[in-house]
Amino acid sequence: MKRFAAVVSLTVASIALVSCIQKRPVSADDNGYSGFEKWVLDYGVSKSGAVNQGFISAKREFDAALEKRDKKALAPLLNENFQWVTSDGEQHSKAQVLENPEPLANNNLDPLDVRTTDFTGDVERQIGIHRAERFVHLWAKNHGTWQAFAYLDIPLPKERKLDVDPPALPKDAEADCVNPCKTVGDFKPADDAQKEALRVWMELKNSEWRPNGPVWGSHSDVYHETITYDMDMPMLQHVAWLSYSRKLYGEKSGSPGEPVIQMKMFTFNNVVIQEDLQGHGTKPVTWIMRVFVNRGDDTHPDWKICLSAQTRIKKSIDAQKASKE
């Protein structure tokens, strides 16, 4: 109970700070919301559409085709840019899956605790557990047809940090963040949606490098989740963590983050999917998938991040270790 109380106190205090800094009115709105609740409604929540029935149908067809190893039925249900990335960072393309669907079929068995979230009827996100791993699946509506776009497996942490553990001291408070705070290398957005999603993401990276909970929260959808090889963090907890870090150690308490080595973006109407290879040097050590949504209503006219999920590339990490021995 003490741990729960500490978590609630930290989150509420941080969001109260957010409200103050953003100078949102404290008076109740027409529905009686004010303060912390009003900040959440203003900055994060929009009416979430029901899970798309077309997606549900396509997912059933996909599961059946995969179970039967039916390559002909499977092919149109995989996007041309489909990637299945295993928990050790191995990438499998559509062609590779169709050549041998057995590994993905085995991986697709017995999902648990699956949560499906719709993003403007353009992308469906599924988060769950299978085979003692976490997974994030993205499905996208491509020219009216629902297709599997990305399947990512992420290891379960051996031990999770306590929610009340304070952020660690910065390793190098004076370190500069060029890539990804000021540049992302050679990547060029293909359209305005990608341009805006990239702008928002770089502002997010800057508000992590120089921790700023209010700025980070204003660019994040309330359904956002950060899922890595060592933690899961929902949107409000992330805001609280950044605000607490700044309170403890000051504005230089963040990390520059891993530089982008390769970036791709894909636009599906009001949703942009970003895929990155990141790491120091020339060999990427992390495969990352992010999603940005523009709900397009009066309260949420801007692009917001609604997913950041990553896994480590084992062969690259092993190679780095071997070169140092």
Where along the chain do its domains lie? Answer: 2-24+173-324, 53-155
What is the reported pTM? Answer: 0.86
DSSP at 162: P
Report how far apart, in Å, the C-alpha atoms of 7 and of each of 51, 287, 303 are. 31, 30, 28
CA–CA separation, 182 and 191 (whole Å): 20
CA–CA separation, 64 and 149 (whole Å): 17
Q: Edge-to-edge, what's the strand order for the sheet holding 304-312?
A: 232-234, 225-227, 304-312, 286-293, 271-278, 260-268
CA–CA separation, 99 and 78 (whole Å): 13
Tell me the pLDDT of the chain (325 aa) as tens digits.
434 344 444 444 444 444 444 444 445 556 555 665 665 656 555 555 678 899 999 999 999 999 999 999 999 999 999 999 999 999 999 999 999 999 999 999 999 999 999 999 999 999 999 988 999 999 999 999 999 999 999 999 877 776 667 888 888 888 999 999 999 999 999 999 999 999 999 999 999 999 999 999 999 998 999 999 888 999 989 999 999 999 999 999 998 889 999 999 999 999 999 999 999 988 999 999 999 999 886 655 689 999 999 999 999 998 888 887 6
Q: What per-residue confidence (pLDDT) applies to 167?
A: 85
Residue 106, burial from CB neighbour count under 10 angstroms (0-12, 13-18, 19+): exposed
Give the CATH number of domain 2-24+173-324: 3.10.450.50
User: Domain 53-155 belongs to what architecture?
Assistant: Roll (3.10)
Which residue reads 């949703």 in tokens? 271
